[in-house]
């Protein structure tokens, strides 16, 4: 009788753990995700670059939130913050650099490995590329910083936003070799997504490329016309990414495990509509950034040797879609994520 009770207790314990960790026959979540694990670049970095040479650590970055520069590449909140709130987390996941300072304490809401300026491969910025970021995550698992329950009840947010392509063009990559390079980037993204899945995270959201040809860096100085050639390469990237994600979902059992955030159509729609009417947001001049260098030699936050600011700053960041040459304002992210939420309805 005692042996039977022991077997029954063991069976029930395993069953409960299976349900809680989302490992039922269909692989569905049976509870809300408890942690967010973030990989990528400046679109999702919430403070991993803590050197003063980073613009995100200098005024006027962070003037809307938290009121001082926090390492976010915006005037306020970025994609990670809105995504975490959508998941019901009380706070955004802890930046990896900040977590290192508090020792081996288990991150309560997840962890953010994203570093601004990085890519799928190495770029000109001396920070961990995505493969290295995943290595850091694997090391934390190996050192029991995350339990099996933590991993299986987590969601990963992966942001490859185009730094590989900027680096390719800046290092005199040939136009003929650009499409093959796009293929290599997307292939590596697929490898990274599969690796995160095999580490135990069963729901993974990857950010598609936005309309880079419409970003202020490429529309300056007029800020009134998108670069169609660049956007055609972006569309090629996104087509390949969609096929790669479809293949990954076909290879895994049960409900979809990989999801794409359609940044391209979302941001393009905001530009064309001069805002997002559904949430009452309008941008009169959507291609014009709030903060921009006075010339091509300077950028948002730049100062000269005498400490004079070498940038222009708008009075109301909440009226601008773009904060600087590449990144949305907090209001821009709000407008975009309000539309992107529809991509996540099956998550």
pLDDT tens string 12-63: 333 334 433 334 333 444 457 789 999 999 999 999 998 776 789 999 999 9
Q: State yes or no: pLDDT of 140 exceeds 90.
A: yes
Is 154 in the active site? Answer: no
Q: What is the 3-state secondary structure (H, E, C) of the chain?
A: CHHHHHHHHHHHHHHHHHHHCCCCCCCCCCCCCCEEEEEECCCCCCCCCCCCCCHHHCCCCCCCCCCCCCCCCCCCCCHHHHHHHHCCCCCCCEEHHHHHHCCCCCCCCEEECCCCCCCCCCCCCCCCCHHHHHHHHHHHHHCCCCCHHHHHCEEEEEECCCHHHHHHHHCCCCHHHHHHHHHHHHHHHHHHHHHHHHCCCCEEEEECCCCHHHCHHHHCCCCCCCCHHHHHHHHHHHHHHHHHHHHHHHHCCCCCCEEEECHHHHHHHHHHHCEEHHHCEECCCCCCCCEEECCCCCCCCCECCCCCECEEECCCHHHCCECCCCCECHHHHHHHHHHHHHHHCCC
Place of tokens 């909140």: 77
Count of C-beta atoms within a 10 Å radius of residue 15: 11
Is 41 in the active site? Answer: no
pLDDT of residue 11: 39
Catalytic residue among 41, 75, 164, 324: 324
Catalytic residue among 21, 42, 70, 153: 42
Residues 30 and 22 sit within 8 Å (Cβ to Cβ): yes
pLDDT of residue 53: 67
CATH topology of domain 31-281+334-344: Rossmann fold (3.40.50)
What is the edge-to-edge ordering of all strands in the sheet holding 35-40? 94-95, 110-112, 35-40, 154-159, 203-207, 258-261
Radius of gyration of the chain (CA): 21
79-102 pLDDT tens trace:
999 999 999 999 999 999 999 988
pLDDT of residue 230: 93
Q: State yes or no: pLDDT of 174 exceeds 90.
A: no
Is 324 in the active site? Answer: yes
pLDDT of residue 165: 95
* Percent of the chain whose predicted confidence (pLDDT) is above 90: 77
Catalytic residue among 54, 262, 327, 339: 327
Largest CA distance in the chain: 84
Residues facing residue 155 across a β-bridge: 36, 203
pLDDT of residue 7: 43
Rounded-to-integer distance, Cα 89 and Cα 50, Å: 24
């Amino acid at each position: 009788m005692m042996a039977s009770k022991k077997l029954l207790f063991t069976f029930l314990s395993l069953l409960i753990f299976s349900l809680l960790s989302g490992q039922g026959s269909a692989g569905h979540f049976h509870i809300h995700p408890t942690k967010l694990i973030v990989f990528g670049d400046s679109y999702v970095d919430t403070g991993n670059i803590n050197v003063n040479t980073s613009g995100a650590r200098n005024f006027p970055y962070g003037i809307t939130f938290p009121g001082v520069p926090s390492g976010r590449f915006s005037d306020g909140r970025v994609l990670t913050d809105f995504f975490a709130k959508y998941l019901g987390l009380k706070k955004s996941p802890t930046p990896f650099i900040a977590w290192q300072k508090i020792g081996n304490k288990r991150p309560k809401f997840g962890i953010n490995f994203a570093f601004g300026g990085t890519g799928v491969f190495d770029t000109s910025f001396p920070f961990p590329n995505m493969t290295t970021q995943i290595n850091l995550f694997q090391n934390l698992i190996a050192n029991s910083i995350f339990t099996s329950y933590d991993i299986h009840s987590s969601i990963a947010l992966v942001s490859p936003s185009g730094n590989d392509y900027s680096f390719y063009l800046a290092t005199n990559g040939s136009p003929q070799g650009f499409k093959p390079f796009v293929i290599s980037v997307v292939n590596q993204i697929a490898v990274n997504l599969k690796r995160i899945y095999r580490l135990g995270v069963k729901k993974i959201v990857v950010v598609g490329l936005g309309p880079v040809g419409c970003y202020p860096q490429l529309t300056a100085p007029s800020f009134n016309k998108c670069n169609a050639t660049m956007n055609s390469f972006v569309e090629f990237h996104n087509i390949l990414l969609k096929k790669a994600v479809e293949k990954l979902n076909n290879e895994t059992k049960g409900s979809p495990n990989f999801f794409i955030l359609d940044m391209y159509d979302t941001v393009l729609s905001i530009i064309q509509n001069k805002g997002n009417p559904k949430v009452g947001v309008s941008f009169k001049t959507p291609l014009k950034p709030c903060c921009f260098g006075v010339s091509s030699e300077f950028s948002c936050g730049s100062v000269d040797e005498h400490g004079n600011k070498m940038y222009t700053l708008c009075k109301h960041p909440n009226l601008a879609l773009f904060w600087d040459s590449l990144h949305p304002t907090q209001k821009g992210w709000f407008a975009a994520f309000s539309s992107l939420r529809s991509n996540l309805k099956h998550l």
